[in-house]
A and B are shown apart, each in its own frame.
Chain A
């Protein structure tokens, strides 16, 4: 590919030189001094094109940039070497190709891809028209009879070698220009749309070429409006238009050079970024980078080496867009151990120097941000795993309670019925057997009581079956210290929230009975904004210390596992107030 580009460049140079020399001797147009300016400019443009092609081989922009002045040179072969049938044939075949190549270049810059369907259609139609007219011209057009003694272009002209004898088709060149007119208007509209839809950073890149392309189209339309006829011959006759047309051609490589110069401003912009990062609060590096790069759509993906994945600043997993999608990805840091990736407008790839420099400047801040994101990701995972552990524990408690109820308890109850049957069969007391049966019955009842308390402590069936409100009422009724319930949620809440609230109240009531020497407890539960608020007050001795018992500590853990809060106020001698907020997730 390198060789191809070298050969293309050498061919361009050779062609330009040949044409400058040719114009000195036998050309009919342009005059020697104008030819030197025109063709040297074309060679400069080819050189710029080949350099861009070399630097960005994956983009079609370099190829198009090279092709455009090349086509302009080929087109002029028919006037510089007007006497040569081969030169005239090549010249006429390529005469119309300049416009579609320019349109393609300006609309696809800088990625080299035409993004919108209408862009592709307009460029496709322009290429097809140019090819059709080129072919028609070399087959049907004989320039010689066109010379009326005024238009120098047709003096001494040879006919194309492919010309079909007898055909004249004098209106062909004019017809092409007419058919190009609506396309030129559409092209200006498409350029305007491209600018409007660009990000601010992208617009800065696209603007110089858009202005140059727009200028070429506008001058074409203006010329056409002035003469209403073949534009080429008109511009040939009027020296002002010569400069306008050549100025338009030169504007393209010059505008690219301007873009490159603009790129040098990157350093100044990055210097501002460094200052800005100094003042940036944690988590705002993305904003600073988006501002510096002029891309408000910029996303920051931070690489977590341990997880081997990207996350956003909040630690949430993030997938990079696939290659070839609408968004481009620039990885910062070494490829084997990246720090972060920027997901951005693909136009920014044209300002790679700025991207890399900004990335390097933000490196320390990004490292910092990455550590924070890592911490957040770990915290989120820890929180989720805590909630899972509590939930699995609750499920296990429910299962145990069901097993006790369906198994041992049912067997003991059946045994009770069996004892009754035995007693009935025995009739009058035989050797004190009735007393033994009574004792067995007492034992059985004690076993059933203990079993029931055990099952209730593990996970009360009433909580599963009838919900928090019913379970708390039953709890309050059994409490040795009188309990007033101010309010209870009137709907079922999530199972983890119900379990947490129930065990919170149950453990607190047990503590009150054991330590508080209270005469009264007040319980208030309200369901507000997806959270259940629990308040428990007693009039006891106070001085409860959360660090003292494992019970309260365990309750706090349970509440925290659900991302809730627990607060305890227990001034000595002044009762105890417990407040908890449990999210109903």
Chain B
């Protein structure tokens, strides 16, 4: 049974390609969200196992949303992503409760699957 995934990013074209990439690799993308608030709603309604979460969102940061999700009853796994690289962020990244970080330029189905499989 393929893991269910929620894609959260404010760029529609990135969401669309990420969905197709993950679906091609066998993941079940249950929904997309463009900001923190709708992401939280979607997590509570659909209970995805994994959230692919952009760090920079219009209404919050991926770090903060990951914190919220880590104490939510749904407790999905969180994979952070960003168009910036890891060295653009300070210790927030290291402190984050997220499963891991994949820069968007390095985002492949294989890298995503490796993180998720490693955890489960």
Contacts and interface: CB of A to CB of B under 8 A. Distances in A.
Interface of A: 405-406, 409-411, 413-414, 416-418, 420-421, 424-425, 445, 448, 452, 461-462, 466, 470, 473-474, 477-478
Nearest to A455: B84
Interface in B74-103: 83-85, 87-90
Contacts of B14: 410, 413-414, 417
Given A405-B83, A413-B83, A470-B90, A421 B104 contact: no
B107 A417 contact: yes
B88 A462 contact: yes
Given A410-B14, A416-B105, A421 B88 contact: no
A466 B88 CA distance: 9
B114 interface: no
A466 B90 contact: yes
B24 A474 contact: no
B17 A414 contact: yes
Interface in B33-80: none
A461 B84 contact: yes
Nearest to B84: A461
Given A417-B107, A421-B24, A477 B17 contact: no
Contacts of A452: 85
A437 B49 CA distance: 32
Contact of B83 (A410, A470, A474): A410
A397 to B, nearest CB: 17
Most buried by B among A409, A413, A466, A478: A413
Contacts of B17: 414, 417-418, 421
Interface of B: 11, 13-14, 16-18, 20-21, 24-25, 83-85, 87-90, 104-105, 107-109
Contact of B87 (A406, A409, A478): A478
The SS class assigned to the B binding surface is: helix
A506 to B, nearest CB: 15
A406 B12 CA distance: 12
Contacts of A420: 21, 108-109
A445 B105 contact: yes
Contact of A417 (B21, B88, B90): B21
A425 B109 CA distance: 13
Contacts of A466: 89-90
Most buried by B among A405, A414, A418, A474: A414
Contacts of B104: 413, 416
Given A413-B104, A421-B24, A448-B105, A474 B13 contact: no
Contacts, number: 56
Contacts of A406: 11
A169 to B, nearest CB: 93
A168 to B, nearest CB: 98
Contacts of B25: 424
Contact of A473 (B13, B24, B85, B90): B90
A224 B24 CA distance: 119
A36 B46 CA distance: 118
Nearest to B13: A414
Given A410-B83, A417-B20, 13 more contacts: A413-B14, A414-B14, A417-B17, A418-B17, A421-B20, A424-B21, A424-B109, A425-B24, A448-B105, A452-B85, A466-B90, A470-B90, A478-B87
Contacts of A425: 24
B87 A474 contact: yes
B119 to A, nearest CB: 22
Contacts of A417: 14, 17-18, 20-21, 107
A474 B87 CA distance: 7
B87 A410 contact: no
A297 B17 CA distance: 76
Contacts of A477: 87
B11 A414 contact: yes
A509 to B, nearest CB: 16
A409 B21 CA distance: 19
A278 B23 CA distance: 91
Nearest to A473: B90
A571 B13 CA distance: 56
Contacts of B105: 413, 416, 445, 448
A461 B13 contact: no
Nearest to A445: B105
Nearest to A477: B87
A424 B20 CA distance: 11
Nearest to B87: A474
Given A409-B83, A420-B108, A461 B88 contact: yes
5 contacts: A410-B13, A413-B14, A413-B83, A414-B14, A462-B88
Nearest to B103: A413
A405 B14 CA distance: 13
Most buried by A among B16, B84, B107: B84
A438 B10 CA distance: 28
Nearest to A444: B105
A410 B14 CA distance: 7
Contacts of B88: 461-462, 474
Nearest to B61: A465
A518 to B, nearest CB: 23
A177 to B, nearest CB: 87
A466 to B, nearest CB: 5
